Amino acid sequence: MTKIRELFKVKKGSGEYREKVEAGKTPLVSATNLNNGIIDFVDIDPTFKAPSITVERVSGQAHVQLMDYATVPDDISVLIPLSKMSLNKLFYVSSCINLQKWMFNYGRKLSKTRLENMEIDFSNYEERTINLSSRFPPQNARSTITHNENYKSYNITKLLTIDRGDFHALDRLDLGDIPTVSRICNDNGVTGFFEKPDNAKTYNKGLITVSTVSGDAFVQLVDFIATDNVLICSPKAPFKITTLFFIAFMINKQKWRFSYGRQPYKRIFSKLNIFMPVTSGSDASRYEIDENYIEVLLKNCYGWNVIERELRMGGKTPGTRKAPGQSFITNFN
């Protein structure tokens, strides 16, 4: 066992609060478990060099930073290697920290002393070369987009049929190979891979799922099963897959409306209105969703080539995806 202080110099975060700086190119790491801890890109000089590890002091979540960055002044610790360290080892240490983060919370923060004394077990560690090209795909070459500034408000029930998942208790399921969607807000909503319980339905790919706690919406690209803490949203028209992602994006823009105390079950969620780009028909009073514009817009977004790779797989769940909690697909919204 090796203590963190034997491998890293632990420093307090240094930078600026987001509301005090303008938008720019420097990643700003803050107290969030999402997006590798990065809340925005801001116009200040980086205060830390990559690669290094940032650790959130409330939840204990660790991230490996691959770009020079700054942090907010509080609730972030930075681990700077005492000697040159491979990416493989940095990711290993970060994973070991995350395996121990259950010990920390707001009432028991991961202080500098606790972090320095945290022990890392290298008995199963193997040095290897990491290829990040598939995880961080190159940005698409952007084509010229003629922006459509015509938007119309649609009640969500005009676009989607809303139902709920079929079962509740995950701990009663047997491990298997069917992606199982629950109310979590990461990993595309997939909490693990299980066998389908009796009387449950296998839902076809191409549907939108919404967490009834956080309001996070995901487009499912393979067949799946779902708990009753999930809304199953079926398109009422044969929308393009890009349109489904846009609808999910617009839902996620309003997920701030929902919380554990105001969960978006069917009655509340059905009141949601979203804006969609439209084209006017021959009758000026009639509008149609501009799916061609949405398609061009989405296919110019960073990460769309990863979505296309999933689509080329034909909806088949890869045989390697059988471990509960294993990442399924990133939410590119």
pLDDT tens per residue across span 115-172:
999 999 998 888 887 766 655 556 555 566 778 889 999 999 999 999 999 988 888 8
Given this model, what pLDDT does residue 261 score? 83
Closest-CA residue to 81 (of 109, 55, 49, 108): 49
Residue whose pair of structure tokens reads 């190159």 in the numeric block:
138
Q: What are phi and psi of 176, to 5 degrees?
A: -160, -145
Joined tokens for residue 287: 């509008």
**Per-residue pLDDT tens over the stretch 209-224:** 999 988 999 999 999 9
3-state secondary structure of 277: strand
In this predicted structure, what is the pLDDT of residue 326?
31
Which pLDDT belongs to residue 134?
A: 56
**Range of weakest confidence among 78-82, 90-94, 235-239, 263-267:** 263-267
Name the residue ranges covered by the structural domains of the chain. 2-120, 151-312
Average pLDDT of the chain to the nearest whole number: 86
Give the pLDDT of residue 317.
Answer: 45
Nearest residue to 225 via CA among 181, 163, 186: 181
Q: Is pLDDT of 283 > 50?
A: yes
In residues, how long is the chain? 333
Comparing CA positions, the residue from 74, 73, 76, 45 lying closest to residue 63 is 76
Is the pLDDT higher at 285 or at 251?
A: 251
CA distances from 308 to 43, 204, 231, 300, 312 (A): 33, 18, 25, 12, 6
What does the pLDDT read at residue 141? Answer: 57
Kindly report the number of other CB atoms within 10 A of residue 227's CB atom.
23
Q: What band does 292 get if pLDDT is binned at 50, 70 and 90?
A: very high
Q: Which pLDDT does position 309 carry in this prediction? A: 83
H/E stretch holding 117 reads helix 112-117
* pLDDT tops 60 at residue 321: no
Buried b / exposed e across 265-290, counting CB within 10 Å, b at 16+?
beeebeebebebbbeeeeeeeebebb
The whole-angstrom separation of Cα 331 and Cα 161 is 22
pLDDT of residue 281: 61
Residues sharing a CB contact under 8 Å with residue 114, sequence separation 6 or more, in sequence order: 104
| Residue the block writes with tokens 């002044």 | 73
Look at 74 and 270; give whichever has higher pLDDT: 270
Quickly name the fold that domain 2-120 has: Adenine-n6-DNA-methyltransferase TaqI; Chain A, domain 2 (3.90.220)
State the distance between the two ends of the chain, measured CA to CA, in whole angstroms: 40
**Hey, which bits of the chain come out as E strands?**
2-3, 8-12, 23-29, 38-42, 52-56, 62-65, 70-71, 76-81, 119-120, 151-155, 160-164, 175-181, 190-194, 207-211, 217-220, 225-226, 230-235, 273-280, 287-289
Mean pLDDT of 264-288: 82
Q: What's the pLDDT score for residue 306?
A: 82
Rounded distance, CA 39 to CA 41, Å? Answer: 7
Pick the CATH number of 151-312 from 3.40.630.30, 3.40.30.10, 3.90.220.20, 3.50.50.60: 3.90.220.20
**61-65, 132-136, 177-181, 216-220: least confident range:** 132-136
Q: Tens digits of per-residue pLDDT, 77-89?
A: 999 999 999 999 9
Query: In the numeric block, which tokens belong to residue 148?
Result: 């459509």
Residue 286's pLDDT band, with cuts at 50, 70 and 90, is low
What is the CB-side half-sphere exposure of residue 109 using CA atoms within 13 A? 13
